[in-house]
Amino acid sequence: MRGAWIPATAVLAALMLAGCASTSGRSTGGSAGGGGGYYQNDGPPENERIDLDSIEDAVPRDEPKSKYGNPASYEALGKTYYVLESAAGFSQTGRASWYGRQFHGRRTSSGEDYNMFKMTAAHKRLPIPSYVRVTNLDNGKQAIVRVNDRGPFHDGRIIDLSYVAARRLGVVRRGSAPVRIETVTPASLRAERRASEPPERTAQRSTTPTASGPQDDRRAAASTSASGSPGRAIPVADGPPSSRRSPRLYLQAGAFGEAANADRLRTRLEAAGFERVSIIEPSAATPLYRVRVGPFDDPRRRRSSQRILTQHGFAARAVER
């Protein structure tokens, strides 16, 4: 690990006085604006006997705040940090670093033991626990992690990832990477799933399906009308024009702060054989270049393409436009 090492006792004492159970006392090495590096004497596991590819993202849950790690404010390395009362709507752009075997099994600020094989992270201000979606702005990869620790206290770093989370995002080798983080909740994930479903599936949730005869394979079978009687078939994209335009189905393979990074991902996707790859320009609501594949005329084809993208190492989520 390159760079200066700050004794663990310095940060430990500060956070314990602030009400935290304990902390790992990490300080990122490397230069503040450079590519980063490992923590001093730290690194990946010596023997990876776990199938790391089978480890899934953290699943957001509604949890009470931890007994430890949530003081109104605390001091670390001469700076004062104020813990947010709520994580709702939080987003931030900066650099992510990671920590590994040196801290494996040590107590985190939440009182839980750090496990480098779990999708967790440390943040200076978010309530503990919180859940955030992390997007690597260099390669578009995404992961959801659970914040259960404090840090990093190195200038220019906004989040410290567990080893497995850093590996998922492609951060391990370089030591740090530019990222965008945004909080996610069970409610926001449900809303995303609803938004990615075709309108006819959403309608079926509020009605009771009735038996129906064979339908043209180009048309979606209707469930029932609001009165409970059989409804008419709803045309899909290749059916007759409708007075109401159906949402167009896409896969978003990445979101970047720099246009050049989005162009590189589009080139990689096209080189891998994916067609209809486009870049959505930044807007006031979403100040990022979004790389999308599509549109798809059928949700099943989109799901199939999503699996293929994953097999090629691309993270993609379903979106509509």
The CATH number given to whatever domain includes residue 269 is 3.30.70.1070
Q: 127: closest CA among 160, 143, 150? A: 150
- One domain, residues 52 and 81: yes
Mean pLDDT score, 250-254: 88
pLDDT (tens digit, 9 = 90+) per residue, 196-236? 555 555 555 545 444 444 444 433 333 333 333 333 333 33
- The answer to whether residues 149 and 113 touch, using CB atoms and an 8 Å cutoff, is no
Residue 138 falls inside a structural domain: yes
Q: 192 with 298, same domain? A: no
Range with top average pLDDT, 42-46, 92-96, 252-256: 92-96
Q: What percent of the chain has pLDDT over 70?
A: 68
State residue 287's pLDDT score: 78
Among the listed residues 253, 255, 257, 260, the one whose alpha carbon sits nearest the alpha carbon of residue 294: 253
Q: Is residue 60 domain-shared with residue 26, that is, in the same domain?
A: yes
306 shares a domain with 227: no
For the chain, how many structural domains are there in total? 3
Is 240 among the domain residues? no
Rounded Cα–Cα distance for residues 295 and 319 (Å)? 10
Do 174 and 194 lie in one domain? The reply is no
User: How many CB atoms are closer than 10 A to CB 226?
Assistant: 9
**174 token code pair:** 């370089």
Does residue 214 lie in a domain region? no
Same-domain check for residues 263 and 155: no
Domain CATH for 63: 2.40.40.10
Residues 176 and 230 in one domain: no
Q: Tell me if the pTM is above 0.75.
A: no
Could you tell me if residue 1 is inside a domain?
Answer: no
Q: Tell which wins on pLDDT, 74 or 306.
A: 74
100 and 179 share one domain? yes
Q: In the prediction, which pLDDT does 236 show?
A: 34
For residues 160 and 274, membership in a common domain is answered with no
Give start and end residues of each alpha helix (H) in 105-221: 163-169, 186-196, 199-205
Same-domain check for residues 161 and 275: no
Q: Which residues, including other chains, have CB under 8 Å from residue 317's CB and lie 6 or more apart? A: 142, 192, 196, 251, 252
Phi, psi angles (nearest 5°) of residue 182? -145, 140
Say yes or no: 150 and 253 in one domain: no
- Domain of 299, in residue numbers: 249-320
Of 261, 33, 45, the residue nearest 140 (C-alpha): 261
pLDDT digits (tens, 9 = 90+) for 5-50: 333 333 444 444 443 333 444 544 333 333 334 455 666 676 667 7
Whether residues 163 and 310 fall in one domain: no
Structure token digits, residue 281 = 């320009």
